[in-house]
Amino acid sequence: MATWDLSNTKNHVFICNGSSCDRAGAEELPQAIRKEISKRELDDSIHTTRTRCNGRCHDKCVVITYPTGIWCCTVRGDLIRILRTLVFSMEQGQVKFDRVLIETTGLADPAPVAQTFFMDSILSEKFEVDSIITVVDSKHISMHLDGHDEAQEQIAFADVIILNKTDLVSNEQLDMLENRISQMNPTAKCLHAQNCNVALTTILGINTFDVNHKLEIDPHFLEDHHHHHHDDMVSSIAFREERPLDMEKVNQWMSYLVQEKGEDLLRYKGILYIQGMKERLVFQGLHMLFAGRPDRKWKENEEKLSQLVFIGKNLNKKELEKQFNNCIANNM
């Protein structure tokens, strides 16, 4: 019989790992949790136990932590069920709502939440993602960026970043923070706030997730002389090109990126000028979930220009630049 020394244990995590959960793919969850605990060197203070629900677990997979008693379900399945219920209730005239706001925990990965609205056919028809908003503690964020990958990833996924507690830092510190954030995510809009007091019109109904709108890239990010002094895991690379691109080569490149680099590509989006096409081609991706389609026609006096931004981990700028340049159409 196995025994454990639990004298230093502060939390006990019960992970539902019965056969019904395993059939739903939940066997990966215990491994991910234990890996994260070991990564943070918390093995002595957090003890995990696999348990079974004998088929009574409908959420697949449930995690219970003691002594706090917080229940955490796999995000995507739980979210799909709740949103589908809301849609059904609205169609039956039982409820009425204009939008759904989803708040995740401080350590949550925003990717599964955003992907839910693209992977589920009903939700993709009934909902559209307005914006992903990340709140940043201006006073303490630097130490989190230096020590936790999650903080960098949440900044990478954001369309809008609220720099909160700006009254607790100097202008110089704030400028340094904004420059650092710009290197991770040059397309996110930064708002300054105290006590998270921002106008709702700046965060709701703004459609910043939609690439059909103008792709705004921080101008400082595009300056060649702009350097940063942090070895951040998350970084970003932007490309601008006036020459048209070859559609077939772009398709091959994107297919390669999704299959081979999708795990490291947190977000990537762009507007492309394709040879022989009268319309702009817009695309957007989250990890290995990618979509691209023709948009409106180029306007008569509009500058035809391709703009792409890749935000991810361990990006190889020279490799991506070489691959992008290979997509430029040959002169006819």
CATH number for the domain that contains residue 66: 3.40.30.10
Higher pLDDT, 4 or 255: 255
Does residue 224 register a pLDDT over 50? no
Higher pLDDT, 325 or 95: 325
CB 95 within 8 A of CB 86: yes
pLDDT at 225: 36
At residue 125 the predicted structure's pLDDT band, cuts being 50, 70 and 90, is: confident
Residue at which a domain ends, from 55, 73, 91: 73
| Whether residue 112 is found in the same domain as residue 138 | no
Higher pLDDT, 199 or 145: 199
249 belongs to a structural domain: yes
Average pLDDT over residues 24-42: 71
| Whether residue 199 is found in the same domain as residue 276 | no
> Percent of the chain having pLDDT more than 90?
24
Most confident of 17-21, 146-150, 159-163: 159-163
4 belongs to a structural domain: no
CATH number, domain containing residue 149: 3.40.50.300
CATH number, domain containing residue 275: 3.30.1220.10
pLDDT at 318: 92
CB 265 within 8 A of CB 310: yes
Does residue 75 register a pLDDT over 70? no
Average pLDDT over residues 173-184: 90
Query: Which distant-in-sequence residues (6+ apart) come within 8 Å of 227 by Cβ?
Result: none
| Whether residue 82 is found in the same domain as residue 117 | yes
Higher pLDDT, 259 or 201: 201
332 belongs to a structural domain: no
The three state secondary structure string of the chain is: CCCCCCCCCCEEEEEECCHHHHHCCCCHHHHHHHHHHHHCCCCCCEEEEEECCCCCCCCCCCEEEECCCEEECCHHHHHHHHHHHHHHHHHCCCCCCCCCCCCCCCCCCHHHHHHHHHHCHHHHHHCCCCCCEEEEECCCHHHHHHHCHHHHHHHHHCCEEEEECHHHCCHHHHHHHHHHHHHHCCCCEEEECCCCCCCHHHCCCCCCCCCCCCCCCCHHHHCCCCCCCCCCCEEEEEEEECCCECHHHHHHHHHHHHHHHCCCEEEEEEEECECCCCEEEEEEEECCEEEEEEEEECCCCCCCCEEEEEEEECCCHHHHHHHHHCCECCCC
Count of structural domains, the chain = 4
| Whether residue 137 is found in the same domain as residue 218 | yes
Does residue 60 register a pLDDT over 60? no
pLDDT at 164: 93
| Whether residue 99 is found in the same domain as residue 34 | no
| pLDDT, tens digit, 9 for 90 and up, residues 207-220 | 887 655 555 555 44
pLDDT at 148: 62
pLDDT at 327: 94
Minimum mean pLDDT among 50-54, 115-119, 129-133, 315-319: which range? 50-54
Average pLDDT over residues 306-327: 91
331 belongs to a structural domain: no
CB 72 within 8 A of CB 32: no
| Whether residue 254 is found in the same domain as residue 313 | yes
Structural domain for 141, as ranges = 131-222
241 belongs to a structural domain: yes
301, two tokens: 């006096």
> Percent of the chain having pLDDT more than 70?
72
6 belongs to a structural domain: no
3 belongs to a structural domain: no
Residue at which a domain ends, from 87, 114, 129: 129
| Whether residue 125 is found in the same domain as residue 145 | no
Residue at which a domain ends, from 26, 54, 73: 73
Residue pointed to by tokens 């991810």: 312
CA–CA dist 93, 282 (Å, integer):
36
| Whether residue 190 is found in the same domain as residue 262 | no
| Whether residue 175 is found in the same domain as residue 195 | yes
- What mean pLDDT, rounded, does the chain reach? 78
At residue 329 the predicted structure's pLDDT band, cuts being 50, 70 and 90, is: very high
Higher pLDDT, 46 or 166: 166
Residue pointed to by tokens 């890996």: 35
At residue 226 the predicted structure's pLDDT band, cuts being 50, 70 and 90, is: very low
Q: Is the pTM of this model over 0.75?
A: no
Average pLDDT over residues 83-107: 85
| Whether residue 64 is found in the same domain as residue 24 | yes
149, two tokens: 């990958």
